[in-house]
């Protein structure tokens, strides 16, 4: 089947079998390998992307369901010259270690902050409950999201 969607602001098309997931489409047809294949059943969150601004597991969505929609992957957040504030804070705090979970965590955090710019620690934990990290123990990740919220608030006040 043919699918067309706007990925990180660019319109892309592909012809794929109907059983193709959005994750496979992104990674294998369009070489957007930021979203990771982890558990492949919606438990680990490594494949998190934004579809029409909403965080979803790309492993649990068919390419056909994403047809016509707006997709944001980690590649769309920033380039090497200008990090997204979340990426900058994660780097400053060394909030990631191996980094495999990072794209999913940062997109889940973006979805959280887009909908709740001033989250409590409990709300940050809830917002990241669908993202597993086996390296860090989460402490610095949660600090990085909280710091980004403060940073964004300061930016918008300035």
Give me the residues that bind other proteins (CB under 8 A), please: 1, 17-19, 21, 40-43, 45, 48, 54-57, 59-62, 64-65, 108, 111-112, 125-127, 129-131
**Paired tokens of 107:** 């997109």
Q: How far apart are CB 106 and other proteins at their closest, in Å?
A: 14
| Of residues 51 and 146, the one with the C-beta less far from other proteins | 51
Helical H segments across 18-138, by residue range: 22-24, 63-66, 85-92, 102-115, 121-127
| Of residues 60 and 83, the one with the C-beta less far from other proteins | 60
**Paired tokens of 40:** 């492949």
Q: How far apart are CB 54 and other proteins at their closest, in Å?
A: 5
Q: How far apart are CB 74 and other proteins at their closest, in Å?
A: 15
- Strands of 70-72's sheet, edge to edge? 10-15, 2-7, 70-72, 48-51, 54-57
């Amino acid at each position: 089947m043919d699918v067309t969607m706007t990925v990180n602001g660019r319109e892309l098309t592909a012809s794929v079998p109907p059983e193709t997931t959005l994750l496979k489409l992104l990674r294998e047809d369009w070489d957007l390998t930021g979203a990771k294949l982890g558990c492949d059943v919606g438990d680990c969150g490594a494949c998190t992307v934004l579809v029409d601004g909403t965080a979803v597991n790309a492993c649990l969505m068919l390419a056909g369901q994403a047809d016509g929609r707006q997709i944001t992957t980690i590649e769309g957040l920033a380039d090497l010259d200008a990090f997204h504030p979340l990426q900058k804070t994660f780097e400053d705090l060394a909030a990631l270690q191996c980094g495999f979970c990072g794209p999913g965590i940062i997109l889940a955090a973006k979805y959280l902050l887009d909908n709740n710019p001033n989250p409590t620690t409990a709300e940050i934990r809830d917002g990241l409950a669908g993202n597993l990290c086996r390296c860090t123990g989460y402490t610095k990740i949660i600090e990085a999201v909280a710091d980004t919220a403060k940073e964004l608030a300061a930016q918008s006040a300035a």
